[in-house]
């Protein structure tokens, strides 16, 4: 008898089956999901922000202390880019997944490393911003929020109106700074409880966010990665889907499998 070829499951079908069976889903997103909204990623690719810049000169408290004008100007330029961007089909598909899980009395938590607010604007509600948001700025001394003009800041650096001699800084998490404790707490609770973890558009090299998928897998959650390129987790996830988030997510989630 001729041998039948062994059926390799199509990764999109496999992902749909895992989503249909899941009751508690955690999604972790990174810069890749916003790339199709025109927001540059940090690493990898011709347009990546850190292709020409050393992150240590822009994304650390030391850099801000050394050269607040350059750092403020760079973040304010990015704030304008985020304001102008619109959510893409990947963001919208995740908002639809949240609504579908709610409808079947499931749980959905969206952990994002992105600071652009596009998930909120797409309609997602249970969003945990691990690295803060570039849309809010705060006093570097007191931490009080600072109202910003809609357009570019009038000066770089921009003085804080709250404390004499201190400066406005973006409410983001720089290297060497702790993540907001409420965000870490919410993330850890969701990860401990999930039966499916989906990592989307992140290089999976920045901690502690990069550890969450391993924690989820260690307690038995199924894992899916959606990324344009291979990453350190591609060979350890249950389903690795190589493609653009804005194209792959609608294929899996429109309609949400049930």
What is the binding site for ligand BJW (CB under 6 A)? Answer: 30-32, 35-36, 41-44, 48, 59, 113, 115, 131, 172-178, 201-203, 205-208, 227-229, 231, 244-245
| Closest-CA residue to 29 (of 210, 178, 183) | 210
CB 99 within 8 A of CB 108: no
Residue 194 φ then ψ, to 5°:
-85, 150
Residue of minimal Cβ distance to ligand BJW: 32
Can you say whether residue 143 is alpha, beta or left, with left for phi > 0 and alpha for psi between -120 and 50 degrees?
A: left
Q: What are phi and psi of 196, to 5 degrees?
A: -145, 130
Nearest CA to 252 out of 9, 11, 8, 7 is that of 11
Report in angstroms how near the CB of residue 248 gets to ligand BJW at its nearest: 8
Least distance CB 44 / ligand BJW (angstroms): 5
Name the residue nearer to ligand BJW (CB basis): 43 or 107: 43
13 vs 175 by CB, closer to ligand BJW: 175
> What's the closest the beta carbon of residue 7 comes to ligand BJW, in angstroms?
27
- Residue 15 or 24: the one with the smaller Cβ distance to ligand BJW is 15
Residues across the chain = 258
Helix (H) or strand (E) holding 109: strand 107-112
Round to whole Å and give the CA distance between 224 and 112.
16
Q: Toward ligand BJW, which CB reaches closer, 207 or 255?
A: 207
Q: How far apart are CA 69 and CA 248, in angstroms?
A: 40
CB atoms within 10 A of CB 31: 23
DSSP helix/strand/coil, 167: strand
Choice between 101 and 200, CB closer to ligand BJW: 200
201 and 216 in contact (C-beta within 8 Å)? no
The answer to whether 14 is a known catalytic residue is no
User: Which of 131, 162, 185, 219 is labelled catalytic?
Assistant: 131
| Beta carbon nearer to ligand BJW, 115 or 222 | 115
At its nearest, how many Å lie between ligand BJW and the CB of residue 243?
7
Q: How far is the CB of 231 from ligand BJW (least distance, A)?
A: 5
* Separation between Cα atoms, residue 88 and residue 230, nearest integer Å: 22
Longest dimension (CA), the chain: 85
Q: How far is the CB of 244 from ligand BJW (least distance, A)?
A: 4
Catalytic residues: 131
């Amino acid at each position: 008898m001729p041998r039948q070829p062994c059926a390799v499951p199509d990764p999109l079908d496999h992902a749909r089956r895992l989503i249909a069976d899941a009751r508690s889903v955690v999604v972790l997103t990174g810069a890749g999901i916003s790339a199709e909204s025109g927001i540059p990623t940090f690493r990898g690719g011709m347009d990546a922000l850190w292709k020409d810049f050393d992150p240590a000169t822009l994304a650390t408290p030391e850099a801000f202390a050394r050269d607040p004008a350059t750092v403020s100007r760079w973040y304010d330029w990015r704030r304008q880019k985020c304001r102008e961007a619109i959510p893409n089909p990947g963001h919208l598909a995740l908002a639809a997944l949240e609504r579908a899980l709610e409808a079947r009395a499931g749980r959905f938590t969206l952990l994002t490393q992105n600071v652009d607010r596009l998930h909120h604007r797409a309609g997602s509600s249970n969003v945990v911003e691990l690295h803060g948001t570039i849309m809010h700025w705060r006093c570097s001394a007191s931490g009080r929020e600072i109202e910003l003009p809609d357009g570019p800041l009038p000066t770089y650096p921009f003085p804080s109106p709250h404390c004499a001699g201190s400066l406005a800084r973006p409410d983001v998490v720089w290297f060497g700074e702790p993540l907001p404790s409420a965000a870490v707490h919410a993330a850890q609770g969701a990860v401990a409880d999930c039966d499916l973890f989906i990592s989307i558009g992140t290089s999976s090299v920045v901690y502690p966010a990069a550890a969450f998928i391993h924690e989820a897998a260690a307690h038995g959650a199924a894992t899916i990665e959606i990324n344009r390129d291979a990453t350190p987790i591609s060979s350890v996830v249950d389903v690795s889907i190589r493609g653009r988030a804005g194209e792959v997510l609608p294929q899996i989630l429109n309609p949400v499998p049930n």
